[in-house]
Amino acid sequence: MSMIEQFVEQIIAATSYEPLDRFYLVNRVRALVGDQDAQVDADSDLTVGQQLVALAVQNQKITDDVTSREILNDQLMDLVTPTPAQVNNRFWEAYKKSPQAATKFFYQLCQDNDYIKTKAIAKNIVFEKGTQYGDLQITINLSKPEKDPKAIAAAAHQSDDQYPQCQLCMENEGYLGRLGYPARSNHRIIRMNVGGQQWGFQYSPYAYFNEHCIFLDEKHEPMQINRQTLVNLIDIERQFPEYFVGSNADLPIVGGSMLAHEHYQGGRHVFPMMKAGIRQAFTMKKYPAIAAGIVNWPMTDLRLSSSDTDQLISAGTDIMAAWKKYSAPELQINAQSNGEEHHTVTPIMHRDGDQYVLDIVLRDNNTSAEFPDGIFHPHQDVQHIKKENIGLIEVMGRAILPARLKEELAQVEQYWLGQPNQIAAMHVAWADQIKQQQVITADNVTDVLHQAVANVFARVLEDAGVFKNDDRGQQALSQFVSQF
């Protein structure tokens, strides 16, 4: 069967199109890829859709560059995707059976139509290693494609007044894409109510964990952490009890990469922080239904658990308000400077049966002459592994490390084994220190490397912790929680 014929069969099978629409669909596809057809290569690793993109290049319908290929791929996959209204109707119909049935349907759809880039995600390097804080999860992110050189050049001439306003806006649904902005023809968003407002629910195309999803405000408004945040997180947990949900902090340095649009992240995944035990329990006098404790974690995490969601919201709000104005200059913790606020939190929620579990991770974005990147940010000596912001996912113990490390760490292994190598200068002192501590052989070199990276990530999280895990830090933290 030819490529176009087989792809049209896929469209009819996946959507409300019928066999009577076949000639119409053939012409829709030909308009995109050209009239010259070819036979499907059954032995190829490429899908029929991806083979059609290559055919379009051959037919000179598109130029052979990253952006043109991505836009055409998603235009083709849009043809096998039901309309937004149809997707929403099917989702909420499945939801009547169970939330799990609804998310299963939507997640599968987003994989089948290549919105979730499963083949690209499979390239990521993922491993776990034990530390004093339990097993930490390490990922080296290889899934996102390299930027198109044309897109980089075009970005220099783009105005701020553009459509869509950002990559989280509802207007991305069905957007063609352009140089420097991703194609979204096959993108679908589930509409839902969160905290009395219209929100959207979608999956992440380059997922960092299982069923990585995003909940986004219908309005393009800046992120902010307040009482309403906790109301919203609980509302999402009521609707999707099998998912965790959390918000990045709302300040630069400690916040996420998209502070301009209110959104949360969630998914079906158990993070190391969720498994961490309570180091010290404390009581909240005003809230007898709350079980509270300081979590045994490198960052400062206060965990509140209760089936009483009203008390949970109020207790969490009290902690956030107290932290916002708390200062301990002797610990380099300062709430404000020159009228600028420096304190916020990373709030994360999941369900344990009828218990709502709220983790409130305290954040501080102060800088100093010694630590210009951030006092509570990865310090200079660990930035050879991780120098980017510590966002929601890292807070919970899953490192998102840059793609450069794949080759750089391979060179470290060769350096350890005395083989020809091009080890980066920034890794040498670290590599020498590890080599002095143990015998490294061809049999254990990868295991040693993985453990060393996990140990660095633990240090990264310690750097980001506001109350350090030493006597001074823990004594001050105990005093902080005693006010509740």
pLDDT tens profile 379-436:
999 999 999 989 999 999 999 999 999 999 999 999 999 999 999 999 999 999 999 9
How many other β-carbons are positioned within 10 Å of the β-carbon of residue 351? 17
pLDDT at 180: 86
57 in any annotated domain: yes
Cβ 80 vs Cβ 15: under 8 Å: yes
55 in any annotated domain: yes
93 in any annotated domain: no
Report which secondary-structure segment, H or E, holds 435: helix 425-437
Domain interval for residue 41 = 1-64
How much helix, strand and coil, in percent to the nearest 5, is found in the chain?
40, 20, 40
139 in any annotated domain: no
41 in any annotated domain: yes
**Range with the lowest mean pLDDT among 19-33, 133-147, 164-178, 260-274?**
133-147
Residue 255's contacts (CB-CB under 8 Å, 6 or more residues apart) are: 223, 248, 249, 344, 365, 389, 391
pLDDT at 289: 97
Q: What is the model's pTM?
A: 0.94
Phi, psi (5° rounding) for residue 344?
-155, -170
pLDDT at 151: 56
Which pLDDT tens digit goes with each residue over 170-202? 999 999 999 889 999 999 999 999 999 999 999
194 in any annotated domain: no
Domain total of the chain: 1
pLDDT at 197: 96
Residue 265 confidence (pLDDT) above 70: yes
pLDDT, average across residues 218-233: 96
Structure confidence at residue 69 as a pLDDT band (50, 70, 90): very high
Using alpha carbons, select from 231, 174, 223, 180 the residue that is nearest to residue 202: 174
pLDDT at 418: 96
pLDDT at 158: 55
Structure confidence at residue 143 as a pLDDT band (50, 70, 90): confident
74 in any annotated domain: no
Half-sphere exposure of 440 (CA within 13 A, CB side): 23
